[in-house]
């Protein structure tokens, strides 16, 4: 029996600038009870749009949906939409909307809200109700392997840990239909396997039906009973998982050759770097310790390692966003400049302009157009030392404080907010300082060429960030960084959200840029094959230390 029927679904997005996108065009399918139905498709094909409609959070233009016996049409009333919402839970692509308290409280709020319909409240801490709630929430954390992080602030979790917390929050609803949208893109292979087992167990235990959107053929092969292939808003194939994934993958462009590393001149030298994090009780949560690492000019360095071992922390130290407790971080520019990024001041600020970073949570400003986003980032990269001096004098702040404030601009929005809250700084004050930095002009022709090479739509500059699909966002974020022609580009898990065909296009382009401009790259990824194809050397990080180094050949044969 089917729990979900979708008939002739059509969805048009009306863009802020007056244009429109036909995102779904006559989609029909059924989901059986206890079935895991996979959906695969290239970036921008309509997968997330479909999931949001089924969740009852996005209106649609034409068609009919029957979900758990409830008829849902474009003119549905609020009561019907609530019924649809009660039956489904969604795990959205990289949207980490957590409460700013601990991991376990984030799950407890979800469980409690099943009764109260209000996630803002929790029962008083010294009651039986609170204890029971805690016990229940802990079970969900156990399912996703996060009990050891129960007491940590949710916004400080690593990317993979956040994805698992999201999954725990969805499981807590015990939905009839679980909608998973790219659920494990940031998980290490080992955590992925564990989560796959959890999902299978849930299906058996609670009889949940699952719609699984993923661009990872392997995930479908290990989970899905049946597969739909969606392209330009239409289902173009339906049926056997293996057959469809192999046909989908046949569109892959060949791997571009790796440009040779010409010389061994350092661009980065980390000497004995240690960075520690403490809990508010002052107990140590985590550290990366005694890191010695040299990165060479023109090198593409890969970073691999299980979830939560300090890869992102290391990348942030490299970018000068996190200041280590010990050690030095020397960056050598092409024109002979050098600065220790651990020292705050204009010299560091100028040199850091040569570093680009694409975060795992590449939060693009929500309402801004792509053009505004690029300009907004560029002005930080083109500021002169005189301008820094002028702003510091005008606002009467010290050189080191201005550099610190500029570093905050490089942080992903969520971590910046956490940090500002800790320091009791109002975000508005920060924005007032940023507003002092002069605007820049954009060479649109050059930027458009990068967009073209990344396979993005022509009208992209006018689009607002919420008008982009997940894979489009990541490519835009990459183009934003490339626009400033960095000497070192740090990419934290850039490929996780891209389908394999788009991912190959992007990694080939990065090699082309490396060959043409001599840009050094530091790429964090869980994808061994991709690292082996794209890098000169790979380092393995475990428990906050560099465990070993591999050549691409060694990594493949591991
Ligand atoms: N600001 C912070 N405060 C407290 N702990 C933190 C902070 N930032 C990171 N951590 C902790 O440091 C550890 C390493 O995190 P990091 O993000 O570097 O992991 P990762 O190796 O990149 O993992 P993943 O592959 O899951 O992204 C995690 O346990 C995380 O919870
Ligand atoms: N809010 C929006 N407003 C306008 N256009 C949108 C909006 N959201 C998505 N689109 C467009 O609709 C199309 C489908 O987007 P959707 O997010 O469903 O794709 P997807 O298959 O999930 O892609 P990805 O794998 O990149 O996440 C894309 O062309 C995208 O640019």
Ligand nearest to the CA of 231: 2
Domain boundary among 207, 231, 249: 249
Within-domain flag for 389: no
Residues 289, 207: one domain?
Answer: no
Q: How many CB atoms lie within 10 A of CB 410?
A: 18
Q: What are phi and psi of 39, to 5 degrees?
A: -130, 125
- In 392-510, DSSP assigns E strands to 488-492
Within-domain flag for 245: yes
Q: Give per-residue pLDDT as tens, 20-57.
A: 999 999 999 999 999 999 999 988 899 999 999 998 98
DSSP state of 353: T
Check: CB of residue 108 under 8 Å from CB of residue 169.
Answer: no
Check: CB of residue 104 under 8 Å from CB of residue 137.
Answer: yes
Domain that holds residue 296: 255-354+486-558
With a cut of 60, say whether residue 93 has pLDDT above it.
Answer: no
Of 60-74, 268-282, 299-313, 336-350, the poorest mean pLDDT is in 268-282
Residues 213, 290: one domain?
Answer: no
C-alpha closest to that of 177 among 69, 101, 93: 69
Ligand nearest to the CA of 96: 1
Residue ranges in 284-352 assigned as alpha helix (H): 311-318, 346-352
The strand pair at 2-14 and 20-32 is best described as antiparallel
Within-domain flag for 439: no
Residues 224, 271: one domain?
Answer: no
Burial of 527 (0-12, 13-18, 19+ CB in 10 A): buried
Q: Give per-residue pLDDT as tens, 104-162.
A: 999 999 999 988 888 899 999 999 999 999 999 999 999 888 899 999 988 888 877 88
Domain boundary among 249, 272, 287: 249
Within-domain flag for 208: yes
Q: What is the pLDDT of residue 28?
A: 97
Confidence of residue 18 (pLDDT cuts 50, 70, 90): confident
Determine which residue's CA is closest to atom 27 belonging to ligand 2. Answer: 470
Q: What are phi and psi of 489, to 5 degrees?
A: -115, 120
Give 123 Cα–ligand 1 centroid separation in angstroms.
Answer: 30
User: Which residues sit with their C-beta closer than 6 Å to ligand 1?
Assistant: 152, 156-161, 186, 188, 277, 285-286, 305, 307-313, 360
As a whole number of Å, the end-to-end CA separation of the chain is 45
Number of domains in the chain: 2
Determine which residue's CA is closest to atom 7 belonging to ligand 1. Answer: 156
User: Which residues sit with their C-beta closer than 6 Å to ligand 2?
Assistant: 13, 15, 21, 23, 41, 43-49, 93, 466-472, 499
Residues 93, 173: one domain?
Answer: yes
Task: Specify the CATH number for the domain of residue 190.
Answer: 3.40.50.300
d(CA 554, CA 492): 22
C-alpha closest to that of 149 among 285, 306, 278, 284: 285
d(CA 318, CA 320): 5
Q: Give per-residue pLDDT as tens, 442-471.
A: 888 888 988 888 888 888 889 998 888 888
Within-domain flag for 472: no
Domain boundary among 197, 223, 249: 249
Within-domain flag for 433: no
With a cut of 70, say whether residue 353 has pLDDT above it.
Answer: yes
Here the tokens at position 339 are 């600065």
d(CA 508, CA 514): 10
d(CA 523, CA 300): 7
Residues 6, 69: one domain?
Answer: yes
Give 46 Cα–ligand 2 centroid separation in angstroms.
Answer: 6
Residues 94, 210: one domain?
Answer: yes
d(CA 37, CA 200): 13
Residues 25, 140: one domain?
Answer: yes
Kind and range of the H or E element at 184? none
Residues 154, 300: one domain?
Answer: no
Within-domain flag for 228: yes
Give 544 Cα–ligand 1 centroid separation in angstroms.
Answer: 10
Within-domain flag for 387: no
């Amino acid at each position: 029996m089917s729990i979900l029927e979708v008939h002739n679904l059509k969805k048009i997005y009306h863009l802020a600038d007056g244009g429109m996108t036909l995102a779904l065009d006559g989609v029909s399918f059924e989901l059986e009870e206890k079935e895991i139905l996979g959906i695969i498709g290239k970036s921008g094909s309509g997968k997330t749009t479909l999931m949001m409609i089924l969740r009852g959070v996005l209106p649609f233009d034409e068609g009919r949906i029957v979900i758990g016996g409830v008829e849902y049409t474009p003119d549905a009333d609020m009561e019907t939409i609530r019924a649809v919402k009660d039956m489904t839970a969604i795990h959205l692509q990289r949207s980490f909307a957590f409460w700013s308290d601990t991991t376990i409280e984030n799950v407890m709020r979800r469980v409690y809200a099943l009764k109260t319909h209000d996630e803002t409240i929790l029962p008083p801490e010294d009651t039986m109700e609170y204890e029971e709630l805690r016990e229940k929430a802990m079970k969900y954390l156990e399912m996703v392997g996060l009990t050891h992080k129960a007491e940590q602030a949710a916004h400080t979790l690593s990317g993979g840990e956040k994805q698992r917390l999201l999954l725990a929050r969805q499981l807590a609803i015990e939905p009839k239909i679980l909608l998973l949208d790219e659920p494990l893109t940031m998980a290490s292979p080992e955590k992925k396997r564990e989560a796959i087992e959890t999902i299978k167990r849930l299906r058996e235990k609670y009889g949940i039906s699952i719609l699984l959107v993923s661009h990872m053929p392997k995930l479908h092969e290990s989970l899905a009973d049946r597969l739909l292939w969606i392209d330009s808003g239409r289902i173009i194939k339906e049926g056997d998982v293996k057959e469809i994934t192999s046909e989908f993958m046949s569109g892959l462009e060949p791997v571009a050759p790796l440009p040779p590393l010409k010389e061994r001149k350092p661009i980065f030298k980390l000497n004995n770097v240690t960075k520690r994090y403490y809990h508010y009780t002052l107990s140590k949560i985590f550290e990366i310790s005694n890191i010695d690492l040299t990165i060479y000019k023109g090198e593409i360095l890969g970073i691999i390692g299980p979830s939560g071992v300090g890869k992102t922390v290391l990348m942030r130290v490299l970018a000068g966003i996190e200041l280590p407790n010990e050690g030095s971080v020397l960056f050598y520019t092409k024109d002979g400049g050098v600065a220790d990024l651990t020292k705050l001041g204009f010299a560091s600020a100028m040199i850091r302009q040569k570093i680009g970073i694409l975060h795992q949570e590449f939060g693009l400003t929500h309402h801004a157009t792509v053009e505004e986003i690029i300009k907004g980032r560029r002005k930080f990269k083109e500021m002169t030392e005189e301008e820094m001096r002028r702003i510091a004098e005008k606002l009467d702040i010290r050189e080191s404080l201005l550099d610190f404030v500029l570093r905050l601009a490089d942080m992903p929005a969520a971590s910046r907010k956490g940090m500002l809250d800790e320091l009791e700084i109002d975000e508005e004050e920060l924005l007032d300082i940023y507003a002092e930095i002069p605007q820049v002009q954009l060479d649109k022709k050059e930027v458009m060429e990068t967009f073209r090479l990344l396979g993005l739509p022509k009208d992209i500059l006018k689009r607002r960030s919420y008008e982009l699909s997940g894979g489009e966002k990541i490519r835009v974020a990459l183009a934003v960084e490339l626009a400033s022609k960095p000497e070192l580009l740090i990419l934290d898990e850039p490929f996780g959200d891209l389908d394999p065909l788009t991912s190959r296009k992007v990694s080939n382009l990065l090699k082309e840029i490396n060959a043409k401009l001599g840009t050094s790259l530091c790429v964090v990824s869980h994808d061994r094959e991709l690292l082996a194809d794209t890098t000169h050397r790979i380092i393995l990080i475990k428990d906050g230390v560099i465990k070993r180094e591999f050549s691409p050949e060694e990594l493949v044969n591991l």
